Amino acid sequence: MKAQIVVLPGDGIGPEVAAAGVAVLRQIAERFGHQFTFSEHAIGGDAIDRFGDPLPPSTREALLAADAILLGAVGGPKWSDPNAKVRPEQGLLAMRKLLGVFANVRPLKLHPRTAALSPLKPERTQGVDLVFIRELTGGIYFGAKTRSDTDATDECRYSVEEIERVVRHAFELARTRKKKVTSVDKANVLETSRLWRSVATRVGAEYPDVALEHQLVDSMAMHLLTRPADYDVIVTENMFGDILTDEASVLAGSLGLSPSASVGGPGAGVYEPIHGSAPDIAGQQLANPLGTILSAAMLLRHSLGLTDEAAVVEAAVDHVLEQGNLTRDLGGTATTQAVTRAVLDACHAKAEAA
């Protein structure tokens, strides 16, 4: 198959992990006889430096013509002055809005070797297999903002349509899994959450085969650490999902292991690790590339329909974890490039065996 893949390396460790994802996709294309074309474009701080715009027109044009998009990460201290007129993260938000990718799918599957690194007792993490569906194009990140010398505001707004489509996405996914949806909100305080809860309840009635429970976000943050194996699909609004998924990544052993797919728009999906640009380790080959490589596997499955190829990549990652070829965040000493090389070797072996 032919596919145009737009690569957005971004800032900090973004280029290091994006290179790992591209290397794996190139090898899969070669091994399985696909023609993937890769084109790199600017986003975030890199784009501010080069074009004065965190999502320049050349990048927008490429995004709209792509079959799939692989992103590293954006942001960093260089562009983080609270008084800066323009910020890298605006490029990321503008891209999500441009593509209409309202459902951010963040799976959390644990590998026994790395789950053992989690601060939780093994009996607590046993059997954890859950997926967050985070609403991605609405809520407080996209509301009107004001700031004066004396105060500031961020508006949080959700329409029924925005809630309904993402909740429906969660129910459809739950039907293919353990048939349970947990809808997370703050309905004891927020009007947007009360609307969220009423829409989730109405949509849930259309799925009598799927159990629906509502959970307040503060206690959800606690339950994720005390009984994570009780959950299947967790659907929530943009900011709550952003925060809960970083928390949940700890159960897997490292934030660097978590992939994501942003889907639901009319065009291409966006695939990126859930972590940020990690300025504290950038440029040192310390970044764990596995979250990005697993995002590349999601790209193969969800945007290109290449399920066998995606399974080869996921099996290769499992093999590398099993072998203990680990970056520093997982207690190892391997570099980003060495772990990527190990995944490429394992992909080769798994594809031969397939």
Ligand X SMILES: CC(C)CC(=O)C(=O)O
> Is 271 tagged catalytic?
no
CA contacts within 13 A on the Cβ side of 229: 11
Is 83 annotated in a binding site? The answer is yes
Is 74 an interacting residue with respect to ligand NAI (CB under 6 A)? yes
With CB cut-offs between 5 and 8 Å by kind, which of ligand X, Mg ion, ligand NAI, none does residue 181 bind?
none
Q: Which is nearer to ligand X, 15 or 259 (CB)?
A: 259
Q: What is the DSSP secondary-structure string of 237-284? A: -HHHHHHHHHHHHHHHT-GGG---EEE-SSS-EEE--SS---TTTTTT
Q: Which of 3, 6, 2 is nearest to 62 (CA)?
A: 6
State the CB neighbour count (10 A cutoff) for residue 280: 10
Supply φ then ψ for residue 70, to 5 degrees: -115, 125
Q: Show the binding pattern over residues 230-269: x = contacts ligand NAI (CB under 6 A), - = does not.
A: -------------------------xx-------------
Q: How many CB atoms lie within 10 A of CB 33?
A: 7
Q: Where are the beta strands (DSSP E) in 136-264?
A: 145-147, 152-154, 180-185, 211-216, 233-236, 261-263
Choice between 164 and 247, CB closer to Mg ion: 247
How many whole angstroms separate alpha carbon 23 and alpha carbon 177? 31
Does position 154 bind ligand X by CB under 6 A? no
Which listed range, 137-145, 146-154, 208-216, 287-295, lies at the site for ligand NAI (CB under 6 A)? 287-295
Instruction: Give the one entry of ligand NAI, Mg ion, ligand X, none that residue 73 binds, where binding means its C-beta sits below a cut-off of 5 to 8 angstroms depending on kind.
Output: ligand NAI
Query: Which member of 183, 277, 303, 340 binds ligand NAI (CB under 6 A)?
Result: 277
What are the structure tokens assigned to 76, written together?
């960093």
Q: Does the annotation count 246 as an active-site position?
A: yes
Minimum separation from the CB atom of position 92 to ligand X (A): 5
CB under 5 to 8 A by kind: which of ligand X, Mg ion, ligand NAI, none does 281 bind? ligand NAI
Task: Give the sign of the dihedral formed by CA 162, CA 164, CA 165, CA 166.
Answer: positive
Residues in contact with ligand NAI by the rule CB under 6 A: 13, 17, 73-76, 80, 89, 92, 255-256, 272, 275-281, 287-288, 291, 329
Active site (catalytic) residues: 141, 186, 218, 242, 246
